[in-house]
Structure 1
Amino acid sequence: MKHIILPTDFSENALNACKYALKLLEKERCTFHIVNCYVPLESYHSIYSATLDMGTSDNINALNSQKGLQEFLNILKDIQNRPWHFFKTISSPRLLNNEIKRLINDTKSELVIMGTKGASGLKEVFMGSTTVNVIKSVKSCPILAIPENFDFKAPMEIGFATDLYRFYSQSELQLVLELAKTFKSTIRIVNVTEEKAPLLNIQKFNLRSIQKYFGDIPNYLHIVSTENSVSKALESFAKKLDIHLLALLNCPKGYLEKIKTEPILRKVAFHTKIPLLIIPELGMSNSTKSNNWVSATSI
């Protein structure tokens, strides 16, 4: 039984991310933990604004959260209701980051799936402030960020972005590996570099280790130019090869950190057009946690 966390602010974007989750895990036995945190947000755009009482007291906020969760759940069940899918709703006054960390600890959840825009409505900021805050805060569980209005596509082409200077443990790549097995995907290992040059010995060693984990899963190395921006290079690569999901490790000096700090993001931006799988830095620990992921064909 997998445990998956689905944060929602009742926006259309949150609903779309949950729809993606249901389709991605359609054949998997799962418990989906749908969580709404009713602390004040910078702006609030609810698809249920006509039916919710937007009172300000804690009691009214709690009731509105609970009512919104029930309506949200009903919509999800109308979209797809599998007997091996179970749902729990959580209404919490905590900050979303703290509630997600609590749920990961209490339920041993293996994945957080959320939208990349949410209620903030920001169009020129990478992913959206809520998602970025969760990524910065949650360090023990993968996060799958779904772009606004993205229609589900089976991840037949998975991109894995790495500079190959770091050794990866199998536990860190387990989710990528299992998704590839489930969907019979090809994995594209993409190395973004300022100058195309032969790999150094340490890069060759790390590449061999990664390819050993992938086993007989088709995988290829692609070396691409930065184009003055890691984000633009990855965006161009994803478009050219029709990548359906891009995985990055969340670690210091990694590609994700470079993307988040690039000034260009607040101008023309790396608008995430495909799902991003943010992998936590686990090292050699937690080697068995992700092994609960099994092929969908086992159901």
Structure 2
Amino acid sequence: MEKKILIPTNFSKHVWHALIVAMQLYHKHPCTFYLLNVYSSPGFLGESLPLNRNEESQDSAREISEKGLDRIMKGLSFRQENARHSFETISYQGNLIEGIQEQIEKLGIDLVILGAAGESSRISASYDSKISSITEEVEQCPVFIIPEEKDLNASSGTEIVFPSNFRIPFKQKELEALLELANNLKASVRVLYINSEDKPLTSEQEENKADLARLLEDINFSFHTLTQTSPTVGVHLFLQSRESEILALYQRKQGFFSRLFHKTRLDDIDFDPKLPVLVLKEFQ
């Protein structure tokens, strides 16, 4: 089945890198990559729109946007790597989040991929975090953040850490992006339960854990538990101790995701900004 992947771009090198990584990641899949540039939009993509603003100062914002997308297409034409991949460009005037959400709903996007530069790839509740704004507000579609200069190569030793409290069951569709990522990278999924109160699982949690095991049965996975620690510290220590390559988070409003990155606990969080993060979304 064809995958539809949306990549917002501001024509920067880290977004180009994310596109190349995405093409490699889905090299066995027929894919349409939609390259979206949002112009006249404050923050993130809009603020560094043109490659050569001085040379193009007479051009309108739309012309600059379209020329930038044209340059990307010309760069891709030289690669000609995969006959299964096709590319389309979208120049959108307006708000960044609205532009992304509109494409998700109109085109049936399966995954949004964000290229991140340095510290901007951190996931937090900070209101000035541009990446976090997208991961928090975009709905009904998973988001994968790929930091600059981070390559993802298929390896049986690759680990994806997936924290869960087993309190609410997952829908199969909500885990599709995680399963695909694990299969594409030949990676193992380590499901991490933070037992802060050192209590046994309830019967409902045990049932949800068993359901999750069934959903993950086609990939290599294992369950892990940490006790007497907070979710933020526990996830940090687990990633650090195992040198895991990817963090996967499930975002449900008022759920584990929001608590893990609650603003009052921001100082507890110090994930490696070079760590890719897959944000899974709740589907209604």
1:68 maps to what in 2? Answer: 68
**Does 2:223 correspond to 1:245?**
no
Q: State the one-letter code of the partner of 2:11.
A: F
1:214 maps to what in 2? Answer: 216
CA contact (8 A) 2:194 2:229 kept: no
The equivalences for 1:140-219 within 5 A come to: 140-154=140-154, 156-219=158-221
1:53 maps to what in 2? Answer: 56
Report % sequence identity. 27
> In the TM superposition, what whole-angstrom CA distance separates every residue of 1:78-134 from its partner, at most 9, and x where no partner exists?
45631111000111112121111111122111010012449xx75887397332222
CA contact (8 A) 2:121 2:131 kept: no
The equivalences for 1:113-152 within 5 A come to: 113-117=113-117, 126=124, 129-152=129-152
Q: Structure 1 residues 9 and 167 mapped into 2: Cα distance closer, same or farther (>3 Å)?
A: same
1:111 maps to what in 2? Answer: 111
1:87 maps to what in 2? Answer: 87
Report deviation, 1:3.
0.9
Secondary structure in structure 2 of the residue aligned to 1:140: coil
CA contact (8 A) 2:50 2:65 kept: no
Distance in 2 (alpha carbons) for counterparts of 1:76 and 1:225: 49
Q: State the one-letter code of the partner of 1:143.
A: V
2:257 maps to what in 1? Answer: 256
2:25 maps to what in 1? Answer: 24
CA contact (8 A) 2:233 2:269 kept: no
Gaps of 5+ in 2: none
1:3 maps to what in 2? Answer: 4
CA RMSD of aligned residues (A): 2.9
Q: Give the length in aligned residue pairs.
A: 277
TM-score (norm 2): 0.85
Q: Structure 1 residues 75 and 242 mapped into 2: Cα distance closer, same or farther (>3 Å)?
A: farther
**Does 2:235 correspond to 1:270?**
no
Q: Structure 1 residues 181 and 14 mapped into 2: Cα distance closer, same or farther (>3 Å)?
A: closer
1:279 maps to what in 2? Answer: 280
Distance in 2 (alpha carbons) for counterparts of 1:154 and 1:46: 33
Distance in 1 (alpha carbons) for counterparts of 2:106 and 2:228: 41
> In the TM superposition, what whole-angstrom CA distance separates every residue of 1:179-210 from its partner, at most 9, and x where no partner exists?
33344332110112324443222211111000
**Does 2:23 correspond to 1:12?**
no
Secondary structure in structure 2 of the residue aligned to 1:104: helix
Q: Structure 1 residues 123 and 29 mapped into 2: Cα distance closer, same or farther (>3 Å)?
A: closer
Q: Structure 1 residues 265 and 85 mapped into 2: Cα distance closer, same or farther (>3 Å)?
A: same
TM-score (norm 1): 0.81
Report deviation, 1:253.
3.1
1:291 maps to what in 2? Answer: none
1:286 maps to what in 2? Answer: none
Secondary structure in structure 1 of the residue aligned to 2:75: helix
> In the TM superposition, what whole-angstrom CA distance separates every residue of 1:231-270 from its partner, at most 9, and x where no partner exists?
3432331232232322211102333212332434368743
Bigger drift between 11-20 and 126-135 goes to 126-135
Gaps of 5+ in 1: 284-299
Distance in 1 (alpha carbons) for counterparts of 2:222 and 2:273: 23
Distance in 1 (alpha carbons) for counterparts of 2:239 and 2:182: 17
Distance in 2 (alpha carbons) for counterparts of 1:80 and 1:275: 26
CA contact (8 A) 1:30 1:84 kept: yes
Q: State the one-letter code of the partner of 2:144.
A: L
Distance in 1 (alpha carbons) for counterparts of 2:64 and 2:254: 42
Secondary structure in structure 1 of the residue aligned to 2:42: coil
